[in-house]
Amino acid sequence: MNQCSEDLNATQALDRKQRLKDLIEANRSIQNRLTVQSVEDTLNELSNVVKKSDIIHGEGSVTDRAEHTSEVMRDVQLLKMNHELMSKVFQQSSLMGFFSEQIYQNAIRQTVARQGDDDWTPFTEIACNIARMARAKSTMLGAYKVELKERAVKERQQRRKAEQAAEKRPECVDKLSRQDKGAKKVNIVHKQLAQMFKTNNNQPIPYYKLVIDPKNFMNTVENAFQIAFLVHDNRIAIETGDDNYPQVRLIRSDEVNAVKETTQAICTLNLEKCREMIIFYDITEPMLVIENSEDE
């Protein structure tokens, strides 16, 4: 009986994940049509996505989600995308004159103004109907101080990052001997990239999909370093793709001489971002493999 129950829970979790994935695709579709349809249509479609998301969120139990963390990640990703899309809608509405801070201020003033005095009771009633009590648990340690331990942990983390960054990037990869480990890694990555682009008709590759190793975060960091070195050497370029995330492409021969200096950019890369991108691009295996190729 227990086995049947577990199988049922797994099937339901898989169904919820697929429905969340469909809603994520629906959100992307709304974003693509953001500039060509009315604000009202966009808000109606977004409202429909949110309502369906709420229905999915109400299904299952906390235990189910603890056992299927990928479902939670997909749920969080959808929530984030909905918030970002709502922000874009407000921004677009402001530019088109549909919504402005002045209109918002006037609406508040009309709501609270009562015979010359401000009465915030209407807002209180709205807030009480919407707000939910936050459940919190107090620690049995009381006000126990852990600043010294936290400081020591941060110092160790900073030293570790400094040691990892100690391996200096080779100034010119082509002219270094094969005995230089730094040059070897860059050459290995460049060789793999050249093959990938050739196989893919030189089409751009999503940056996060390229660098992320879903099973090893340190490999992901290493891949990001090597890609940065290649960008600095004008071998590849990183640009914004259609999904608003960075993508990597080969540098054309006419660009090599035209571009004298590279432009610095910041791409967030932490465990949380990696988990989000693993779900976003459905990454199951790393595209770049450095360690196993070093002796080739």
pLDDT 10s digits, 70-84: 888 888 899 899 888
pLDDT score recorded for residue 174: 45
pLDDT score recorded for residue 176: 42
Read off the pLDDT band of 111 (50, 70, 90): confident
Q: CB-based contacts of 227: which residues, under 8 Å, 6+ apart?
A: 189, 207, 210, 211, 236, 238, 248
Three-state DSSP class for 249? strand
Q: CB-based contacts of 180: which residues, under 8 Å, 6+ apart?
A: 170
Is pLDDT of 252 > 80? no
Read off the pLDDT band of 143 (50, 70, 90): very low
Is pLDDT of 26 > 90? yes
pLDDT score recorded for residue 165: 58
Is pLDDT of 36 > 60? yes
Contact call for residues 248 and 227 (beta carbons, < 8 A): yes
Instruction: Cite the DSSP H helix spans in the chain.
Output: 2-32, 39-58, 62-67, 69-96, 101-112, 121-130, 147-164, 181-199, 207-211, 217-232, 253-258, 271-280
pLDDT score recorded for residue 178: 41
Q: List, for residues 255-283, the tens digit of each pLDDT value.
A: 666 655 555 556 667 888 888 889 888 88
The owner of tokens 């890694």 is: 185
pLDDT score recorded for residue 97: 53
Domain boundaries, the chain: 2-101, 166-293
For the whole model, what pTM was predicted?
A: 0.39
Is pLDDT of 290 > 80? no
**Range name among 5-9, 115-119, 179-183 with the lowest pLDDT average:** 179-183
Read off the pLDDT band of 51 (50, 70, 90): very high
Mean confidence (pLDDT) of the chain = 76
Residue bearing the bigger pLDDT, 90 or 191? 191
Give the residue among 88, 3, 100, 77 at the shortest CA–CA distance from 42.
88
pLDDT score recorded for residue 262: 54
Contact call for residues 237 and 249 (beta carbons, < 8 A): yes
pLDDT score recorded for residue 157: 77
Three-state DSSP class for 236? strand
What percentage of the chain carries pLDDT values higher than 70?
Answer: 70
Q: CB-based contacts of 71: which residues, under 8 Å, 6+ apart?
A: 13, 16, 17, 20, 65
Is pLDDT of 195 > 50? yes
Which CATH code fits 166-293?
1.10.10.580
